[in-house]
Structure 1
Amino acid sequence: MNYLAHIYLSDEDDFIKIGNFMADAVKGNHFEHYPTGIQIGIRLHRFIDSFTDSHPVYRQSKHRLHEKFGHYSGVIMDIVYDHFLAKNWKQFSTTKLEEYADTFYKLLQSNYDILTEKTQNALPYMIQTNWLVCYKTLAGLELILFQMDHRTKNRVNMPAAMEDIKLFYAEIEQEFFLFFSELEQNCKEELLKLKHEFRYNN
C-alpha cells in the first residue's frame, strides 16, 4: 500500500499517522528516540507492508504486471491500490478526501521538525501536487507513476503500466476490495496490540 492507505489505517491518532507515513525513511530500530505514537506508527507500517506482500489477493494483482515490470510491479500495484482507495473514498470515510488530505498536510507542517530529512524534502512537492487527492483519477494515477519512475534509480517506464491497469481494471478493483477489507480488520487488531505493548492510551 502507498501513502493514503498507510495514513487511513492509522486510526485518528496524529503521531501514529506521522510515524506510519514516514516509516520508509526510518531504517532498522532507529526510531526509539521518537514519541511513542510515532514508534507505533512505524511498527504498524511494517506490519502493513508484511501483510500486503504476503497476501494471495495482492500477489495476484501484482502478478499481472510482473512479466513487464519485475520488482517494480509491487511499487506500481501499491499506488494502484491507493488509487482505488481514493476513487472509492466515500465508502471508507465521511470526510471528503480533499479535506482529509489538507488536514494531513497541515499536520505534517505543524510537526515539521520531527519529520525525517527525506520526508521534509518531499513535503513541499507532495503538497504542491496534492498527491493524496491526485490518486483518484486515472490521469492522476498516471502522473504519480511518472513521478515515481523519475525517483527510481533504474527507470522502468512505470507509466507504461497504465495499459495493463486499464485492461484489468475491473478485476484489480475487485481484488482491492477483497484484500482491503482483510487488511483493515487486521490493522485494527495489530494497532490494539501495539498500543497495549507500548501502554499507549491516546
Structure 2
Amino acid sequence: MYNSLTVEKSVISGMNYLAHLYLSGEDESILVGNFIGDYVKGNQYQQFPLAVQTGVLLHRQIDWFTDRHPLVKDCASRFKTNYGRYSGIVTDVIFDHFLAVGWRNYSIYPLRQFSKHVHAILLSNFNLLPLRVKLFLPFLIQHKRLESYAGLEGIWQSLAIMGRRTSLPEEADFALDVLRQDYDLIKREFEVFFADLVDFVESNFEVEIKKPADNRL
C-alpha cells in the first residue's frame, strides 16, 4: 500500500491490504478495485467495471500520497540498514499492524466482522480478480491474515514469508527488533500519518468511511 516501489510480491504474503480495504469505505466495487490495485498495471484498469476502476485509481492515489508523506519516510529510515530500498515495504506492513491494533478507534465494525465481510465480497467477485489474486486469496482467508496483523507474530510471519519468496531481504528478526525498540514512537507516527491519509481520501474522493462517534481523525 504505502510504497510504490516495484517488487516481486509473494502471492501469499497478504502484505498490506488492511489499510487499503478500510479506505475503500462502504462501496463493495471500490473495495475490490482497491484490493487488486497492485496487480493492475497501466491502463489495464479500464478492463474492469467503472466502480472497480475507481477503486484501482484510488489505490494509486493512496500510494502517491503515502510515498510523499514525511512521517512515512521517517519510519522507513529505521529499516534501511538491513532493508535498503525495500524499507518502505516493511513500513507498509508495520503500519497495518498499528491499524489492526487500534482498529476500534477507526471503524464501527469489529475487525473480525470486517474481515469476514471483505472475504465475502472478494469471493462474490472472484471472477473479476487477477490470476495472482485468485491464487493467494484462499491463503489470506484460511490464515486470517487481515486479523493476524494485530499480533507481532503475524507481522513477523508476513515479513518472513516475503523474505523467502520475494526479493525482500530475509530480515524479519531485525524488523521486529526495531519495532519493539521504537514501538511507541512508530505508533504515534502512524496515528498522525493515518489521520492525514484518511482526511486526504475523504476530502478528495467520494468515499464514506464509517468511524466511531468519538473518533478524532
Q: CA RMSD in A?
A: 1.3
**Alignment partner, residue 60 of structure 1:** 74
* 2-structure distance, mates of 1:175, 1:123: 30
Residues 1:72 and 2:74 are matched in the alignment: no
Pairs within 5 Å for 1:1-40: 1=2, 2-40=16-54
What is the aligned counterpart of 2:110 among 62, 75, 96?
Answer: 96
Classify 1:91/1:154 alpha carbon distance in 2 versus 1 (closer, same or farther; 3 Å): closer
Q: Who is 1:171 aligned against?
A: 185
Q: Which has the higher contact order (CA 8 A, sep 6+)?
A: 2
Pairing 1:46–2:60 present = yes
Q: SS in structure 1 opposite 2:45?
A: coil
CA displacement at 1:154 relative to structure 2:
5.1
Percentage of matched positions with identical amino acids = 36
Write out per-residue CA displacement over residues 52-86 of structure 1, whole angstroms, 9 at most, x where no aligned residue.
Answer: 11100111011111122111211111000000000
What is the TM-score of this pair, normalised by structure 2?
0.85
Query: CA offset at residue 151 of structure 1?
Result: 2.7
Q: Which runs of 5+ in 1 are unaligned?
A: 194-202
Q: Distance in 2 between matches of 1:5 and 1:58?
A: 14
1:190 CA displacement? 2.5
The SS at the match of 1:93 is coil
In the other structure, the counterpart of 2:134 is 120
Match of 1:198 in 2: none
Q: State yes or no: 1:135 paired with 2:149.
A: yes
Do residues 85 (structure 1) and 99 (structure 2) align?
yes
2:47 is paired with a residue whose SS is coil
Gaps (5+ residues) in structure 2?
3-15, 208-217
TM-score by length of 1: 0.92
Q: Which has the higher helix share?
A: 1
Letter in 1 for 2:172: M
The number of residues matched between the two structures is 193
In structure 2, how many angstroms separate the alpha carbons of the residues matched to 1:33 and 1:142? Answer: 36
Distance 2:18 2:82 in 1: 26
- Contact 2:83/2:169 (8 A) holds in 1: no
Partners of 1:44 and 1:190 within 8 A in 2: no
Q: Kindly state the Cα deviation for residue 140 of structure 1 after the two structures are TM-superposed.
A: 1.4
Q: Deviations over 1:119-154 (max 9, x none)?
A: 101101111111100000111111121122223135
Q: In structure 2, how many angstroms separate the alpha carbons of the residues matched to 1:94 and 1:132?
A: 16
Label 1:32 to 1:130 Cα distance change in 2 as closer, same or farther (>3 A).
Answer: same
Partner of 2:9: none
Distance 1:146 1:188, change over 3 A: same
